[in-house]
Amino acid sequence: MKYSEYVQHDGLGLARLVAERQVSPADLLALARARLAEINPALNAVIHRMDTIADERAQAPVDGPFAGVPFLIKDLFQDYAGVASGYGNAALKRAGFKPAEHAEITRRFIASGVNIFGKTNTPEFGAKGVTEPEAFGITRNPWHSDHTPGGSSGGSAAAVAAGVVPMAGANDGGGSIRIPAACCGLFGLKPGRARVPGGPERSDLMHGAAVDHVLTRSVRDSAAMLDAIAGYEKGAIVRLHEPEAGYLAAIETPPGPLRIGVLDSSPLDIPLHTEALAALETTTELLESLGHTVERAAPAIDGLQLGRDFLSMWFVQMARQMDDVRARTGAAANEFELDTRAMAHVGRAFSATEYMDAFERWRGYRHALAEFHAEYDLLLTPTLANPPARIGEAATPKWQQIALRPLLRLPSARALIRSGIVEQIARENLKHVPFTQLANLTGVPAMSVPLHMTPQGLPLGSQFVGEPGSEALLLRLAAQLETAAPWFDRLPAVGGR
């Protein structure tokens, strides 16, 4: 098989060729590695190689829907026993930290038959919507290397978009599947809370706001992988029912006419880029041509308050993550990025009562979204407020870095919290990605669908947010959109391809 043939198939297509003995797993692995060698010096998508493990698996009998298909996992919460886990952090990299056991999601990826041969880049602890960690270097967008592939699953998105693999592991605590999908022209489904496992160490991470899945070029790969990884794990807070026939079978039937509410303004009351509005218009026109009803409507939610509450949880999570790394490695302060230290410093200053007040407001967001879904099947928004940012555009300005350093030496950030800094950070940090956190805090499934390209040749996705348990409906709509406006063969010209 030539690479030109390899890239024409999705994961299920490659698995079928392996099952029919038209190609071997070793052949597919060689093609994926050759493509990685072409693009990785420019894109920096993969930061850890797993060659011996992959070579052994390529020669072993393997079952599953993706048997023999090359695959990459994200270097964040998708631990592989005995393989370095860096999480975008200098201390873990320096210590060569290797987990003793697989994450449950990794076990299920392996059981699906994929052949994991590397780990992809991520910002430090997945804390940003771009992938520019100091410890592992910048990851670039295959469509235009001066722009970001998004984050925090930016390495996975870059590798899939560049044609290294048909799909790769990703996770999403505030948009980290959907943001890179939108930046790189991929399909990205964030499953609902507890739909897929998070254990054994991080079950119900961030109260279930963070979940794992994949980034894919085809909708059916996403559906088939969800079939493979979904389901109850020991100790999970709930046991959810799956569709009787499965998600892959579900997409064979198009959805009936849907009523879709569209939000065409930023929840932070910041003007949207004209291309974000153009992406929404492209999607709306396609939906209407397919018989769906689309009208302006949105849940009654204070977007700025939701942003503050999201960041309160996020900052506390950063503090816990730093404490965990210090316990594992004896890390010094300078082994964490300045932004991470600042987030953690603010996180430690929240009282338990303040944290619980923010967490209690999540219930109000769930109620408001449920009221919206009583009238509308889905909520449609831009995935991003702007086209993919230029490399370095989202970095903290030098003057802010200088101002932060003395503040970090203060015993507490209580004065900062009282000053309204969380609101300022919410506006600044979420202004490019104000739409994705709603699905995380409410625990509902959501997806980004790649239906628009800017005149500059950059992808820009549209987001759909469903009600609890609506993964099958989202996938059915995505498959319908994919048929009506195909994107699978739309590939960047990176690496001379």
> Which are the catalytic amino acids?
74, 152, 176
DSSP three-state, residue 285: helix
Tokens 């980004």, residue located: 448
| Contact yes or no for 119/50 (Cβ under 8 A) | yes
CA-CA distance, 151 to 210, in Å (whole number)? 14
Angle at 288 between CA 272 and CA 387, to 5 degrees: 25
Cα-Cα-Cα-Cα torsion 225, 280, 470, 15, nearest 10 degrees, comes to -10
For helices 471-484 and 274-289, angle between their N-to-C axes, nearest 10 degrees = 90
* Measured CA distances, 277 to 380, 415, 437, 484 (Å): 12, 39, 19, 21
CA-CA distance, 172 to 463, in Å (whole number)? 14
- Residues in contact with 60: Cβ distance below 8 Å, sequence separation at least 6, in sequence order: none
Torsional sign, CA 342, 344, 345, 346: positive
Q: Which of 71, 73, 72, 36 is nearest to 162 (CA)?
A: 36
Helix residue spans in 89-145 (DSSP H):
90-95, 104-111
In the structure encoding, which two tokens stand for residue 49, read together? Answer: 């190689």
Question: How long is the chain?
Answer: 497
CA-CA distance, 77 to 443, in Å (whole number)? 19
Strand order in the sheet with 187-190: 46-49, 115-120, 70-74, 167-172, 211-216, 187-190, 446-453, 459-465, 378-382, 259-262, 293-296
CA-CA distance, 194 to 174, in Å (whole number)? 15
The torsion region of residue 137 among left (phi > 0), alpha (psi -120 to 50) and beta comes to left
CA-CA distance, 224 to 222, in Å (whole number)? 6
In the structure encoding, which two tokens stand for residue 276, read together? Answer: 């974000």
Q: Which of 434, 10, 6 is nearest to 187 (CA)?
A: 10
